[in-house]
Structure 1
Amino acid sequence: MAEAADAVRATNLIALDLRELTIVTDFFLLCTGNSGVQIRAIADRIEDRLRDEGIRKLRVEGYREGTWVLMDYGDVVVHVMAEEQRQFYKLEELWKDAPQLPLKLAPADAPSRGLRDFDLVADEDNDDDDLEDEEDDDEE
């Protein structure tokens, strides 16, 4: 998932482990796009990569506006944001107690590891281990 975002030049990719902090989701993937077009392209690439593996999003919000696209995959919530929204909402500060997972980004043509592609690169020696406007894929 992070690799898919990186392939479309998403910046400031951060994965947060929320498992000890909330029951709503296990992980956040945050990334930044430079324009509405790029933000939608990042969201599309992530969705395409996961759909190819049989993983479908539960909800999406903000796709049309293209300043903050939230994609809910259950265990993982993806936030693709414009820099202005990223600085304003400061999700990293809001969730400052969440451990940040290291991202080891693979080449764009490498196979995805699914929803937890960023979880798998966490220290391998460590044993710790209402959205209303659902967008129709045809509206693009």
Structure 2
Amino acid sequence: MPNISAETLEHLKKIKQTLIDKKCENIQFLDLKDVHSYLSLFVIATVKTETQGRSCAKDIDKYMKPLKLAVKRQNLTDLPKDATGWILLDYGEICVHIMTDEMRTYYSLDRLWGDATPIVV
């Protein structure tokens, strides 16, 4: 198990439960600290539709905001209706990638960061 604080592990567990509750598939947790100096923890999940992805993003942000871990991107209420199929939530140490199957296959982050350490959450 990578060196992850108990607090961060709790955040990852909550994110995982949210993704499961929202019926996301192929949820992966990766520790990239040893692979790249400016990257930390990636969560990658597949959704069937962009609407499902927006719903996941909003629920994750509801949990993270009160912890003063607000997303470092546009206001989630302003997500475009014609999104690209990939929503990135950057919380500093934790980056959550919510992708449609098409985008996940195309960008293949799992393969791109294949040297990363998988995290069991």
TM-score range, shorter chain: 0.7 to 0.9
Q: Residue 119 of structure 2 corresponds to which residue in structure 1?
A: 101
Q: Residue 100 of structure 2 corresponds to which residue in structure 1?
A: 82
- Alignment gaps of 5+ in structure 2: 1-14
Structure 1 runs (4+) deviating above 4 angstroms are none
Equivalent residues in 2 for 1:1-140, closer than 5 Å:
1-60=15-74, 63-64=79-80, 65=83, 67-103=85-121
- TM-score normalised by L of structure 2: 0.77
The count of aligned residue pairs is 103
- TM-score normalised by L of structure 1: 0.68
- Alignment gaps of 5+ in structure 1: 104-140
Deviation per CA, 1:42-99: give whole Å up to 9, x if none: 11111111123332111259x4205100111111111000000001110010000001
Instruction: Give the fraction of aligned pairs with identical amino acids, expressed as a percent.
Output: 26
CA RMSD of aligned residues (A): 1.9
Looking at secondary structure, tell me which structure has more helix per residue.
2
Deviation for aligned residue 1:29 = 0.3
